[in-house]
Amino acid sequence: MMKKTKAILVTVFVVGVLLCLGASPALAAGDKVLRIAMDAADISDIHPHFAHTTQDRAVVHLIFNGLVRYKTGDISRFEPDLAESWEVSADGKVWTFHLRKGVMVHPWKGNPGYELTSEDVVYSFQSAANPAKSGFAGGYVGMSFEAVDRYTVRITLEKPMSETLFLPKVADYMGGLIIPKKPAEELGEGFRTHPVGTGPFIFKKYLPKEKVITVRNEKYFRGVPKLKGVEVFFMSDLSSRKFGLRSKELDVIEGPPSQPWVEEMQALPGVKVDVFGPGEAGVLYFNVTKKPFDDIRVRRAIAYSISRDEVATTIGKAIAAPIYSQIPPPQTGFLTRAEAKLRGQQEGKDLLYDLDRNKAKKLLAEAGFPQGFTTKFYMTERGEYAIPMQNVVAQLRESGIDAKMITVDHATYHHNIRADMNTIVLYNCWRASADMKLTHFYHSDSIVVTGKKPITNFIHLGKVDVDGDGKVDSIDYLIEAAREMLDAQGQRALWQEAQYKLLDWCVSYPLFIKRFTYARQKYVDWGYDLKSTLILSPQINELTSISK
């Protein structure tokens, strides 16, 4: 009996070991599929007109194109994508795009694919402009789309728009990603988990909570991609991603904005760390409808209590840097420290608000708070917000300001700040243009809860007096004038003017720009110089290769 039991146990053990050994080659080196792990439990939506999270964008960017595209690895320039050329009328209202010929739509569910034409492009923009079919519809209001011929698309605007503002709307980002008509109509709701585009990689499979599998598009118009495919994994645990990279089960992993992590990864043999832009600008917004933030002296006291350098160092020297304007560098319209300083000197003001606790305490005393004051606000548990904010809170305490953080989960935080529940809001983001940033955060239409189109004007700027002169203060007229200005220099000047006012009123306090961190195996070659990318993760395209 005992012998029999032993024999069974030994057999089970041997079979188990053989099964495991048999499975090992599945992970063997030699294939050219790139495996990238994102900090997420799953996709949210991989329909390009809804995709707004980093993991969603990492997937859709493999599959879709725009009429134009941000230069790969450097968002400061545009270059042709599906359109090989374009022209604009003298009044800046009519934009005409000439499509590349021979661009093939990916095959899908038994359909062989077909040549992309102006009909698809018009369908895509009409869909992007429809609030029921797009999360980015607001960006396409006042536009009409027309197929002039098979390869020509005309976009007519109600109001003129400069190239700086218009091209992002037709670029390979958000609503500018072109969805072909036939698969979009045929798949309907299914398109959200089975996207079909024209990009370098073809969607193959979505394994919920695990990964999206794509394979190379042999008919890609820029040439056959060097990779056989790309697999995007969803792994919310940082340790797992790190171990996956170290065991070479993963080729690229998303990292946290953390200096120790960057240093740890850099020390690993065979691993390279990419720190790239454009980054997310961290700005403090003061709700001027809530006391004592209605008093400009209190807001300035807060600004003088904070050392931006210290906050940036807390995040990490390799990752974050101080900023001095609401539009962060390198976006058109940002202010350098020297520009803000010079303007302040010209007007006899201080627009930099460098750390000066004596001045802060004096301002607080003038405002009637010689012993400081206490305030409470909600804060997300996510490290990229909580870590810098903890530093800010510690610095404020030095001036007698007791800012108490109520930590909640990220979805609750976003809900609460939009419900006008916070006195101070820290918001980290990048917006596609200066107009979008200023409109979302400072235009009166965007005031949370009560605005015509409530978005993220947490300050309530445009509806209240913020400088104590008894008049309502607003930069709406500057935003709107810049929006319609075709001259690039004039437009930039208006955006800067708006920011000088914001700095003077101290309704928000620009803190830092925080760049993105990814670690990769050294055998992964992006195929381009990675400086900045709007999808906030490295772009993987036809040039990307694995050389192992």
Partner 1 sequence: MIAYTIRRILIAIPTLIIVLTITFVLVRIAPGDPAEVRLGDYATKESVEALRKEMGLDKPMWIQYLETLEGLFQGDFGRSMLNGRPISEEIKRSLPYTLELTLMGIIFGAIFGIPTGVYTALKRNTLSDYVGRTLSLAGLSFPTFYLGILLMFAFSIKIPIFPVVGGGDIHNLADNLYHLVLPGLTLGLIMTAYVTRMARSSVLNTLNEDYVRTARAKGLTERKVIYKHLLRNALLAITALIGVYAIVLIGGSVMVEIVFSRPGLGKMMIGALKQRDYTTLQAVMIIFASLVVFVNLITDLTYGLIDPRVRYK
Residues forming the site for partner 1 (CB under 8 A): 16, 19-20, 22-24, 26-27, 37, 41-45, 50, 52-53, 131-132, 134-139, 174, 189, 192-193, 207-211, 233-237, 239-240, 243-244, 246-247, 249-250, 408-412, 414-416, 418-419, 429, 440, 453-456
Pairing between β-strand 33-38 and β-strand 143-149 as defined by DSSP bridges: unpaired
Rounded Cα distance, 515 and 316, in Å: 10
Task: Work out the burial of residue 278: count CB atoms within 10 Å of its CB; fewer than 13 is exposed, 13-18 middle, 19 or more buried.
Answer: buried
Buried b (16+ CB within 10 A) or exposed e, 281-309: bbbbbbbbbbebbbbbbbbbbbbbbbbbe
Cα angle 333, 339, 345 (rounded to 5 degrees) comes to: 140
CB of 249 to partner 1, least distance (A): 4
Q: Which CB atom, from 6 or from 52, has the smaller least distance to partner 1?
A: 52
Alpha-carbon span 458 to 286, nearest angstrom: 7
For 349, the 3-state DSSP assignment is coil
Neighbours of 436 (CB within 10 A): 17
Q: How far is the CB of 41 from partner 1 (least distance, A)?
A: 4
**Cβ neighbours for 296, distance < 8 A, ≥ 6 positions apart:** 466, 467, 468, 505, 506
Structure tokens given for 136: 């980015």
Least distance in Å: CB of 165 to partner 1?
15
Q: What's phi and psi for 367, nearest 5 deg?
A: -80, 0
513 by Cβ neighbours in 10 Å (0-12 / 13-18 / 19+) ranks as buried
* C-beta of 244 vs 388, nearer to partner 1: 244
Pick between residue 439 and residue 496 the one whose CB is nearest to partner 1. 439
Q: What single-letter amino acid sits at 273?
A: V
> What's the closest the beta carbon of residue 53 comes to partner 1, in angstroms?
7
* Residue matched to tokens 């799953």: 42
| Complex with partner 1: residue 169 or 300, whichever CB lies closer | 169
DSSP letters spanning 390-422: HHHHHHHHHTTEEEEEEEE-HHHHHHHHHTT--
The SS3 call for residue 384 is helix
Q: 88 or 524, CB closer to partner 1?
A: 524
Q: CB-wise, 125 or 220, nearer to partner 1? A: 125
Q: Are 155 and 94 in contact (CB under 8 A)?
A: yes
Dist CA 180 CA 47 (whole Å): 12
- The number of angstroms, rounded, from the C-alpha of 93 to the middle of its chain's C-alpha atoms is 28
Choose between 171 and 250: whose C-beta lies nearer to partner 1.
250
Name beta bridge partners: 156: 94, 144
The residue among 381 and 402 lying less far from partner 1, judged by its C-beta, is: 381
Smallest distance from the beta carbon of 411 to partner 1, in angstroms? 4
Task: Answer for the pair 11, 517: CB distance below 8 angstroms, yes or no.
Answer: no
Token output for 359: 């001045």
Q: At closest approach, how far in Å is the CB of 476 from partner 1?
A: 18
Q: Which is nearer to partner 1, 150 or 376 (CB)?
A: 376
Q: In angstroms, what is the minimal distance from the CB of 19 to partner 1?
A: 4
| Nearer to partner 1 (CB atom), residue 15 or residue 472 | 15
Pairing of strands 83-88, 320-322: unpaired
- Nearest distance from C-beta of residue 372 to partner 1, angstroms: 29
* CB 381 to partner 1: min, Å: 11
User: Strand pairing of 271-286 and 424-429?
Assistant: antiparallel
What are 144's two structure tokens?
């009409």
* Minimum gap (Å) between residue 533 Cβ and partner 1: 18
Please identify, using beta-carbon distances, which residue of 95 and 173 lies nearer to partner 1: 173
Select 37 or 311, whichever has its Cβ closest to partner 1: 37
What is the closest distance, in whole angstroms, from the C-beta atom of residue 24 to partner 1 in the complex? 7
- Classified as helix, coil or strand, 493 is helix
Nearest distance in Å: CB 60, partner 1: 13
Going by C-alpha positions, the residue among 234, 255, 314 that lies closest to residue 264 is: 255
